[in-house]
Structure 1
């Protein structure tokens, strides 16, 4: 059994065939999907998916969509956390250092969500691009009690260990399938069994050989095969370890 620990099934990319996408995932052993929120405008669709038995959801404000966020969205997030007691995490939130001109605003938004997660003892789902060390320092300062997921991790073994020591796990997705991702592949081989979850980031983060295609949750099985090869472990062992970690992290 597999869990796609991070996929955006709410995105319009899936409007035409969402149920078929879910069925294709089920056919390869994916039984559960964790769907994070990205903007306040998308939260209703995320919450609607959360009514399904096979979907768990989070709410958050993603740094990539900074221009869509408004100051009052943080208050709306607080209210959403109060109203929806079945949320499994806060996120997707974080830092994307590809956009240095907005970093100050990103940090303010990220800090506010981290403080909510700490106050409510919820895990946090973090988007972290070119900022692993800075994010790790901030997480160390805040000491979040429920840890969280560093989604789409692409860092070194040393960076992974620093985050794991803080109670976080790393998300492994399409990037691990690219042969050129040598540092990440070394990291995958070095992780403890309870240090990672498998994810697709559908419809984004395409696998090797599938660039330009819409990604979808069924491909978490392909990610699992690559991770198993890199760790020199059976597919079933990697699937079981990832599923157990996702269940523990999100209290599924």
Structure 2
């Protein structure tokens, strides 16, 4: 039986979890003391979220460069661009550039947060010539943007929006090639199994088959 793959979460549950611990090394060190629970496997993502930049000041990358090199930190992020941030887009792009550079150096994929800045995000990916995988987390936008992201090689992760039949995520899930699909529960109090069941019903794919699909994608992205 395959494990669930939860590509982006803030609370660990059943299966393989990539737990977002933000930008602080202390979080990772604390999480590494977590007792092993049967049926749970935990890895970490570390990065600077665009909505946290205002509070970090000049110490944006304090702890990051060392932390991302830890063995159980397997992804950089969540990082990206967000028009709601009080930090100007130029500065956000510069900070994203640094994280893209780290991802390239360490050959670790990026978990991307993006709000109302997809054209700029695609431009950064093209400009940097990044060759690691970029995973858009929590996608719930329109068809045009989805097509653009797929055309530029992004992986797409979908979460609790699948539980709402009126959401873009629900309506567009079938458009995402299974070889580019991930599932997550982010910070929602919804078990990852519920997300998989919803995706299974929409796609008409057995849950076990869906688990195998996301595990294969995980193996591809993280080269496990």
Pairwise same-fold verdict (TM > 0.5):
yes
What residue is the counterpart of 2:23 in the other structure?
A: 39
Provide the rounded CA distance (Å) in 1 between the counterparts of 2:33 and 2:151: 34
Q: 2:175 aligns with which of 161, 181, 190?
A: 190
Q: 2:10 aligns with which of 8, 11, 14?
A: 8
Provide the rounded CA distance (Å) in 1 between the counterparts of 2:119 and 2:29: 32
Per the alignment, in what secondary structure is the counterpart of residue 149 of structure 1?
strand
What residue is the counterpart of 2:154 in the other structure?
A: 168
Provide the rounded CA distance (Å) in 1 between the counterparts of 2:209 and 2:99: 34
Moved over 6 A (4+): none
Unaligned runs of 5+ in 2: none
Provide the rounded CA distance (Å) in 1 between the counterparts of 2:86 and 2:62: 26
Preserved contact between residue 58 and residue 90 of structure 1 (Cα < 8 Å):
yes
**Structure 1 residues 11-56: Cα deviation after superposition (integer angstroms, max 9, x where no partner):** xxxxxxxxxxx5xx4xxxx32110123233xx32234324666111
> Are 1:63 and 2:63 an aligned pair?
no
1:1-252 aligned at under 5 Å gives the runs 1-9=3-11, 25=13, 30-40=14-24, 43-50=25-32, 54-74=41-61, 76-82=63-69, 84-99=70-85, 102-181=88-167, 183-202=168-187, 204=188, 215-216=189-190, 219-252=191-224
Which of the pair is proportionally richer in helix? 1
Preserved contact between residue 143 and residue 166 of structure 1 (Cα < 8 Å):
no
Provide the rounded CA distance (Å) in 2 between the counterparts of 1:70 and 1:250: 32
Q: TM (normalized to structure 1)? A: 0.76
CA displacement at 1:225 relative to structure 2: 1.5
Preserved contact between residue 136 and residue 157 of structure 2 (Cα < 8 Å):
yes
What is the root-mean-square deviation in Å for CA atoms of aligned residues? 2.3
**Structure 1 residues 180-233: Cα deviation after superposition (integer angstroms, max 9, x where no partner):** 21x33232111111111110002x4xxxxxxxxxx15xx211111111222222
Unaligned runs of 5+ in 1: 10-21, 205-214
